[in-house]
């Protein structure tokens, strides 16, 4: 939620020669995700709650209204230090999710994937530094994550094609929201490298979390000890 962090990353990419800002072919035009796209993963009640909580409290609100708002926030996973309520968060994260979908469509060659008309013009990969909100659940926020752009994108692939998806997550924290969304789906394999949940949020990602039903065996977790380095 801090644009200056993204700008610092973009500046670093430019300085290192990994990105040419003047080359139009290296950029995609973003957009906001639609309510229908968000609903591929998130419940209507949760989306409505995020929209309502995105509007700042008014000074003239009654104690009853403040109490109802606090209850709504608690039910939806907001209000603690890990997932605070932020003004305009619905609009912000809806755009982040839409950008993830645009990036995915470009790589997959699906509709709205930029101006890549031929197979050889499509990018092999797209870098989206604002994406990766892998903790959000269908019905609640978690770990600073409001809408799960990754899960929405995967669900979009499953709906628009017959492809199978391999999702690889490299993060100190286990990608519990993505795993949870597809835990029983054999079309999606999730592989997560993360620090063990014995001490670290969200406390999940054990090697025995293998999936369930038809999806058993399609959830792979590789928990690492704290301070694990490349040569460990």
149 Cα distance to chain centroid: 3
Backbone phi, psi, residue 137, to 5° = -95, 175
Instruction: With beta carbons less than 8 A apart as the criterion, state whether 215 and 183 touch.
Output: yes
The DSSP call for residue 56 is P
Catalytic residue among 42, 90, 134, 135: 135
Helix (H) or strand (E) holding 169: strand 165-170
Q: What is residue 194's DSSP assignment?
A: E
The yes-or-no answer on residue 134 being catalytic is no
What distance, in Å, lies between the first and last C-alpha atoms of the chain?
33
Q: Would you please indicate which residues are annotated as catalytic (active-site) residues?
A: 135
């Amino acid at each position: 939620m801090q644009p200056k962090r993204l700008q610092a990353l973009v500046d670093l990419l430019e300085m290192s020669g990994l990105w040419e800002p003047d080359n139009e072919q290296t950029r995609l035009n973003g957009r906001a995700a639609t309510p229908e796209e968000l609903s591929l993963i998130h419940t209507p009640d949760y989306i409505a709650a995020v929209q309502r909580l995105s509007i700042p409290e008014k000074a003239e609100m009654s104690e009853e209204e403040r109490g109802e708002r606090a209850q709504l926030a608690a039910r939806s996973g907001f209000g603690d230090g890990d997932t605070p309520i932020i003004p305009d968060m619905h609009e912000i994260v809806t755009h982040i999710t839409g950008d993830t979908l645009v990036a995915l469509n470009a790589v997959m060659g699906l509709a709205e994937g930029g101006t890549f008309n031929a197979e050889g013009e499509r990018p092999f990969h797209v870098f989206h530094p604002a994406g990766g909100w892998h903790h959000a659940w269908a019905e609640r926020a978690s770990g600073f994550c409001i809408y799960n752009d990754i899960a929405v994108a995967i669900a979009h692939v499953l709906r628009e094609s017959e492809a199978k998806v391999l999702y690889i997550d490299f993060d100190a924290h286990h990608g519990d929201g993505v795993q949870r969304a597809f835990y029983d789906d054999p079309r999606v394999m999730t592989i997560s490298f993360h620090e063990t949940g014995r001490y670290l949020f969200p406390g999940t990602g054990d090697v025995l979390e293998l999936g369930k039903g038809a999806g058993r065996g399609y959830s792979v977790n590789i928990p690492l000890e704290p301070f694990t380095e490349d040569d460990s």
